[in-house]
Structure 1
Amino acid sequence: MSISKSNRTRHYGIIGAGPVGCIVAAFLARGGHKVTLCDIVPELIDTARERGIIIEGAENLDQKISDTCSQMEDLMEAGPDAVFICVKAQALPLIASALGDIYRAGIAIISWQNGIDTEYEIANVLGKKPVMRAVVNWGCGLIGPAHVTMPFHHPPHYIQELDPLNRELAVLIAKDLTACGLHTEHTDQIVPMVWRKTVMNASMNPVCAATGLTMAQAMGDPMTFGVVDALLKECLSVARGNEILLGWDYYQNAVEYLKHAGGHKPSMLMDIEASRRTEIDYINGKFVEYGQRAGVQTPYNSTMRSLIKGIEFCMEAKK
């Protein structure tokens, strides 16, 4: 598997025309690369093609995407050099299963979402060779079809290949993203980076999703901050139990980061408000799973997972 090392433009596929997919598609297209945006919702891809993607907030961009499709089969037939999977983590098993039947050798597949072990949902079907994992440091939401709000953008982002033989390819993809305005660096420490981000997500997201509070409100109220803090410490215990090194000063840095998160709604709250399933299984659910492996009790993560699952069940019952 190889992509030319030259400075030529490349063909990137994007699966998922939600806020994350729109951001990646718009920046890559602005950088001169061919982009094919794939989603099963016609309104999302039609708007991206006809009016263009609008990004507002920490970044501002208006970019049309000329090539779109509604079926992954069509995306694979178009022959992209690499495909970014930008759907929510809970959709990955279905996406990976579908890719197993249509994947074409030589196409890199990048897991570009929140949560722990998302890359292995893909690798379990395709094998490790084509799969890469990224860690993304921005906040975003969808105002309307192809209309994205981006409250914050804290680069760099990171990417790593699962197969060491594809290191040069991952480095090249990082360079393409950086040149387009999404500063991305190659790393050989993607697992602790994923955990550093997911610890904060697991500490904040379910609290906001269960209460309806923004991040600033959750951190500002002593009662809810107590839950956030307990989750944070419990997640750190799970990381230590699994010998995943987050750094001796991670706890204090995480608290300071969350205190300055502002009035942003985390994606899990936005999913609940839109009556969608959440990524809870890949966030708090993973800390429960890894806690069991290491013999670390996880009462706070187990409780938050159960509460969010209960809310999801209630939403489904009302449909």
Structure 2
Amino acid sequence: MKGNSSYTPKKFAVIGAGPVGCVLAAFLTRGGYEVTLCDVVPTLLVPALDPGIIVEGADSLQAKVAKVTTTLDDIVSDPPDVIFVTVKATALPLIASALEGFVADGRYVVSWQNGIDTELELAKHLGTKAVMRAVVNYGCVPLSPAHVRVAFHHRPHFLQELDPESREAAVGICEALSGTGLETQHTDRIVDKVWRKSVMNSCMNAICAVTGKTMVQIILDPILLNLVDSLIKEGVAVARANEFTLGSDFYPYCINYLKNAGNHKPSMLQDIEAGRRTEVDYINGKIVEYGAQAGMPTPYNTMIHGLVKALECRPFDEAKAA
């Protein structure tokens, strides 16, 4: 079905074969698009070709991607129209540098990630005209390579270009995504939406990572729920001090959203359990950074950021002790 935009992408690449990237790749493939899935871990890619990516839970589908690769050079040499970056934000500087040869008229890179300012990391290397930012509203957990359970999916998602000259292309990408079942709206307020989601992530993800509890276990614990409340209010204050608009209804919306998240381990806890680096620097760390920019103390985010960073070091410390 033809949309309103003159930009109609046909080939996509998804960088990152984790659960978020697999869900995106599966929807795009089911929508009839040619999709290349890229990851440095070969074992994550093999099942995406056969039997295909399996998605269950809030969404249910199975789809075989067209190609897989373990190197970004393959994507640059056979460029798609749009690249979606779904890896952890900590990998962005390296990925952005490797994609410099991809940039050309009609080609775009979308940050399909959590965290604050991820699109700016891409734009440092690729320029603003080629870069777009999305806010993604589904949560998922890996069951096995290319097999994902979607715990919740709160449509729509949102997307915006960094450069006004790329607006038509951004609208076209939204239309393509929506046509696959990943309803995505174009917005002119993506930074506000990034902050709305990041403040929610800052209060829940990090506490789960430190305590090892699921989201519903945090909500049911009155002491931890009080800490969630303090982190929300501190994040709201920092956002408003920097003139980001969260909306007058944000606090009750945030509490209601979190209470309905279910018995789900967020990605930051999954990373800690797997001994990986987390995205805490791009969530709580950014709130601390923007608080300092506005001359505001951020004791709760400073504390939880430091605790998560200490847990990130644990596998290294244990290996050194052994």
The normalised TM-score by structure 1 is 0.96
Residue type of the partner of 2:141? G
TM-superposed CA distance for 1:17, in Å, is 0.8
Alignment pair present for 1:109 and 2:109: yes
Given that 2:9 and 2:173 are in contact with CA atoms closer than 8 Å, whether structure 1 keeps it comes out as no
**Aligned twin of 2:49:** 49
Taking the TM superposition and a 5 Å limit, the aligned residue runs for 1:237-316 are 237-316=237-316
Q: How does 1:201-240 map to 2 (within 5 A)?
A: 201-240=201-240
1:143 paired to 2:143: yes
Tell me the distance in 2 between the aligned counterparts of 1:181 and 1:130: 25
Once the two structures are TM-superposed, the CA of residue 314 in structure 1 deviates from its matched residue by 1.2
**Contact 1:49/1:64, CA 8 A, preserved across alignment:** yes
- Mapped to 1, the partners of 2:141 and 2:204 lie a distance apart of 17
| Cα separation, 2, equivalents of 1:203 and 1:251 | 12
In 1, Cα distance between equivalents of 2:79 and 2:310: 42
Number of residues of Structure 1 aligned to a counterpart in Structure 2: 315
Report deviation, 1:94. 1.6
- Cα distance in 2 for residues equivalent to 1:27 and 1:176: 10
Offset of 1:273 from its aligned partner?
Answer: 0.9
In the other structure, the counterpart of 1:98 is 98
Matched, 1:19 2:19: yes
- Structure 1 segments unaligned to the other structure (5+ residues): none
2-structure distance, mates of 1:254, 1:60:
27
Q: Which runs of 5+ in 2 are unaligned?
A: none
Q: Within 1, Cα distance between the matches of 2:24 and 2:130? A: 19
CA–CA distance in 2 between the matches of 1:8 and 1:313? 45
Letter paired with 2:232: L
Counting aligned pairs with the same residue, the percent is 54
Cα distance in structure 2, aligned partners of 1:167 and 1:47: 36
User: Counterparts in 2 of 1:117-196, with a 5 A limit?
Assistant: 117-196=117-196
Structure 1 residue identity aligned to 2:104: A
Q: Is residue 27–residue 181 contact of structure 2 (8 Å, CA) maintained in 1?
A: yes
The residue type equivalent to 1:103 in the other structure is F
What TM-score, normalized by structure 2, do the two folds share?
Answer: 0.95
Does the 8 Å contact 1:9/1:32 carry over to 2?
A: no
CA contact (8 A) 2:30 2:180 kept: yes
Q: 1:216 to 1:33 in 2, by over 3 A?
A: same
The CA deviation string for residues 168-227 of structure 1, in whole angstroms up to 9 with x for no partner, is: 100000000000010001000000000000000001111010001111110111111111
Aligned-partner Cα distance in 1 for 2:183–2:8: 19
Q: Is the contact between residue 139 and residue 151 of structure 1 (CA under 8 Å) also seen in structure 2?
A: yes
Give the secondary-structure state (helix, strand or coil) at the position aligned to 1:139: strand
Structure 2 letter corresponding to 1:270: Q
Look up the equivalent residue of 1:105 and give its one-letter code. Answer: A
Q: Distance in 2 between matches of 1:52 and 1:249?
A: 41
* Counterpart contact for 1:9–1:34, Cα < 8 Å: no
